[in-house]
Copies of this chain bind each other. A is one copy, B any other.
Amino acid sequence: MAQEGTSTSPGSPEVTAAELAECRADRDPFQWDVREDCQVRQILDRIADKWSLLVIALLDEKKLRFGELGREIDGISKRMLTVTLRNLERDGLVSRTVYPEVPPRVEYELTALGRTLLATTQALVTWTEEHQDQIAEAREAFEAANADPVAG
Contacts and interface: CB of A to CB of B under 8 A. Distances in A.
A140 B89 contact: no
Interface in A47-96: 47-50, 53-54, 57-58, 61, 70-71, 73-78, 81, 89-93
A99 interface: no
Contact of A92 (B30, B116, B139): B139
Contact of A121 (B3, B74, B124, B133): B124
Nearest to A43: B128
A119 to B, nearest CB: 8
A102 to B, nearest CB: 23
A3 B77 contact: yes
A75 B36 contact: yes
A41 to B, nearest CB: 8
Contacts of A8: 74-75
Contact of A120 (B30, B33, B45, B123): B123
Interface string A87-121: 00111110000000000000000000100110011
A141 B92 CA distance: 9
Nearest to A78: B1
